[in-house]
Structure 1
Amino acid sequence: MYLQLTGTQVRLLGSMHLFPATSRRTPPWIADAYDWAEELVFESDPPTILPFLTAQSTNAAAPLSSVLPVDVWSQLQAVWPTEGPLAPLSTLRPWAALIVAPTLFQQVVEGVEPRLLRSAAAQGKPFRYLETAHDVANSLESIPLAAIADALALLMSDTTEPQRTLERMHDAWLHGDLQAVHHIAVESPMFNLPGIRDAILDARNRAWATRIHALLGRSERTLVVVGALHLCGPANLIDCLGVPAEPLF
């Protein structure tokens, strides 16, 4: 989960965006990576993505209610927050509902990125992002509506799956087992549906590889922090970079 790009001052850190609420500790290799780095690079800035979640943010929005079977729409509405930036459900773009819905059935605490960002802000350590909110929205907009409907139907048929998958994946992540993380992910219904993996992982990996290549000649020690799933499976970020990587953990 923590790798050195050979011959460069760039390292990759595979993160967990959320931790199970029962396992709040940050493993020591996260602190080691942070202390090594002179600059941090994260995926994107989550608060800037909020305006893109609603159907009003684009003229080509299909109402989520028209995408889902009636029973799935009713079940999802029944558990959706009635207040806050994600309410009401009817205003969200289909891909936004797909991304948010599993978290409704998870007991979690914040993961790696918010912790590192707080430390960087407090210590004046510079950081930047690999993509803009617009980039994220454009990628997720490519997910086929049929796949979104199928994924949400599968979720509502087994709402205990997101927590089980998170806990298994977190355990594999703590042990630095990328192969196990990948195996757990492909057992999740979401990643077996057409277009979802490409939009969430593969297409973004290809775009990020170009931006990370621009960092490889710098002398500053640079830590690139991305979700662990971006480092495993076909079309992973390491393969897209085409640079040998040495595991540090």
Structure 2
Amino acid sequence: MYYEIVGANTRILGSVHVFPPGTSALPSWVVDAFNWADLIEMEHDKAEFGACFLDPHTNELKPWGALFIKLGQAFGSFPLQPGVEAEFANALRASSRPAMTYLESGHSIGALIDAVPFADIAAVGAAMDAAMPEMLANIGALHSAWERSNVAALEALQAESPLGSIPTMRHAFFTARNENWARTIAARGPSEKRQLLVVGAMHLVGSDSLLETLSRCGLDARRVPS
């Protein structure tokens, strides 16, 4: 899950946000990506996104905000380990390298999810509840597929996930964000410094993936040899 955009001095790393218990080390290709980069850019500031959970008019939780809080609490009930983003953030803080930047604002993703109908938010919640007994096993399967760069397995897991199986939520959470990111990347042109974009591995699979969207913008991405 490690790609380079041809002629742009930019690479893309597919990440996993949390690791299952007992994960011993980052894969070598993830470490290589971190060491290659001069600048690291991640999806968005989680605190800024979290602020969008509240309705600014009533100061009450939006239905989808409650959904994401519930998801975070579910993750917190398992002995999970910090994923790639947390590992990179800690390594950057411990070095003299520039702080990470972000591909999108928390408000931009919040606006996309605001457009998802309430009934579909409820359907995602129901799917999440149904998947809860298998959550730890699914996280383990996701990590295993990611570690092996098994694109087919990752695509199947995405299609079965609550966020990927409801069309309107899939559009908001994956398709539209991939399109926004691709336009941002294409508008920049080649980078003077070596730039690493770190996005969830699920954004790099399927016909609406970031890689396919970049291709439609005239940017070719190819696997970085391991």
- Is 2:79 the counterpart of 1:104? no
Corresponding residue of 1:54:
54
TM-score, normalized by length of structure 2? 0.88
Corresponding residue of 2:223:
247
**Residues 124 and 211 (structure 1 numbering): CA distance in 2 closer, same or farther, change over 3 Å?**
farther
- Stretch moving more, 12-21 or 158-167: 158-167
Larger radius of gyration: 1
Provide the secondary structure at the position in 2 that maps to 1:22.
coil
Aligned counterparts of 1:246 and 1:208: Cα–Cα separation in 2: 17
**Following TM superposition, where does structure 1 have runs of at least 4 consecutive aligned residues deviating by more than 4 angstroms?**
none
Aligned residues between the structures: 218
Q: Which amino acid in the other structure matches residue 196 of structure 2?
A: L
**Residues 113 and 153 (structure 1 numbering): CA distance in 2 closer, same or farther, change over 3 Å?**
same
Aligned counterpart in structure 2 of residue 185 of structure 1, from 158, 172, 175? 158
Q: How does 1:1-249 map to 2 (within 5 A)?
A: 1-55=1-55, 57-58=56-57, 91-106=60-75, 107=78, 108-126=80-98, 127-242=100-215, 243-248=219-224, 249=226
**Residues 58 and 176 (structure 1 numbering): CA distance in 2 closer, same or farther, change over 3 Å?**
farther
Q: Which amino acid in the other structure matches residue 30 of structure 2?
A: I
TM-score, normalized by length of structure 1? 0.81
Unaligned runs of at least 5 residues, structure 1: 62-90
Contact 2:3–2:13 (CA under 8 A) maintained in structure 1: yes
Aligned counterparts of 1:158 and 1:120: Cα–Cα separation in 2: 35
Q: CA deviation at 1:99?
A: 2.6
Unaligned runs of at least 5 residues, structure 2: none
Provide the secondary structure at the position in 2 that maps to 1:4.
strand
Q: CA deviation at 1:100?
A: 3.3
**Residues 116 and 158 (structure 1 numbering): CA distance in 2 closer, same or farther, change over 3 Å?**
closer
